[in-house]
Amino acid sequence: MHVLVTGGTGFIGSSLVPELIKRDYLVTVLTRNIQAMRPGMDFVQTLEAIASPVDAVINLAGASLAERRWTEAYKAEMVASRAGLTQGLVAWMKGQACPPGVLISGSAVGFYGTSPDTVFDEHSPPGGGFSAELCQAWESAAGVYEGDAARVATLRLGVVFDRDGGALTEMMRSFRLGVGSWLGSGAQWLSWVHRADVVRAILHLLDDPNARGPFNVVAPMPVTHRDFCKILSARRRTLFNVGVPAPLMRLLLGEMADELLLEGQKVLPTRLLESGYDFRFSSLDSALIDILSRGHQ
């Protein structure tokens, strides 16, 4: 099996690619920066450089939503690196003599917008706001590939937790100084997922010939930010716990503060569970025990 991965060098991709190689798949990573060759793996900078037919595509590339302030120019980059890149990818896939049979493409729970109390699953309607519209455009670009000869599954990813990068490393900053913290009221929902479950869920969707359409890739037990703080404080002793005021977050981060941090969404992995996926880390406590046991964050 030959799998093309975009975003294969990122936080999720760098965990996924070794698992694909372990299965003896040939893996090609589309990247802006060619890196050292590894056995079973090829890096390309353009789709045209791919030498042999591709059976499956896993599409994870995209400029980070949390890394920079959302200026108009950066918003355009976030859209182009997801919806734009996916449009080009799908056009290339359709043009192949042997088109790939499956496209597994990224998205996020931001698709639903934010809410203090609604419980979202895959039957919920799309929400509003920049990140919701970005996810919708990204999913639409991928969905064009769906057809009799090919299936498309989209990953509505929650906040992915693990060591060495990603959101948890940022969220643990104050805990390392002995201070537990939540943002704003702390009542906002955090639909999280362990990176190991993201990788296993992607492999599950790759293997299941009936997996098509959107899948919420979130643990079945979301928490509020205050609960997150309480659960983590029990594992990492803190001197005191405190909320970071919302106006300060808005001042520091602008529009991104509300959409990504101060408001949230409670999302359930209904379709993933219906498809027979078995979570390794269902509770936040079990995920944190695993992550913290593998060394300091």
Ligand X SMILES: NC(=O)c1ccc[n+]([C@@H]2O[C@H](COP(=O)([O-])OP(=O)(O)OC[C@H]3O[C@@H](n4cnc5c(N)ncnc54)[C@H](OP(=O)(O)O)[C@@H]3O)[C@@H](O)[C@H]2O)c1
Among 62, 99, 127, 264, binds ligand X (CB under 6 A): 62
Q: At residue 140, what is the residue type? A: S
Q: Which stretch binds ligand X (CB under 6 A): 29-37, 120-128, 207-215, 265-273?
A: 29-37
- Does residue 246 contact residue 182 with C-beta atoms inside 8 Å? no
Own/partner pairs, 161-165, CB within 8 angstroms, 24+ separation: 161/192, 161/193, 161/194, 161/195, 161/287, 161/288, 161/291, 162/11, 162/15, 162/194, 162/195, 162/196, 162/291, 163/291, 163/294, 163/295, 163/297, 165/11
Does residue number 167 form part of the binding site for ligand X (CB under 6 A)?
yes
The total number of residues shown for the chain amounts to 297
Q: Tokens standing for 280?
A: 């390794």
Among 40, 129, 143, 166, binds ligand X (CB under 6 A): 166
Does residue number 73 form part of the binding site for ligand X (CB under 6 A)?
no
* Interacting positions 75-134 with ligand X (CB under 6 A): 77, 81, 85, 106, 108
Among 47, 89, 150, 159, binds ligand X (CB under 6 A): 159
Bridge partner residues of 182 (DSSP): 243
* DSSP H helical ranges for 122-194: 130-143, 166-171, 173-176
- For residue 235, the minimal CB distance to ligand X (Å) is 20
Among 60, 142, 171, 206, binds ligand X (CB under 6 A): 60
- For residue 71, the minimal CB distance to ligand X (Å) is 14
Which CB, 16 or 229, lies closer to ligand X?
16
- For residue 184, the minimal CB distance to ligand X (Å) is 19
Contact positions toward ligand X, by CB under 6 A? 7, 9-13, 31-33, 60-65, 77, 81, 85, 106, 108, 157, 159-160, 166-167
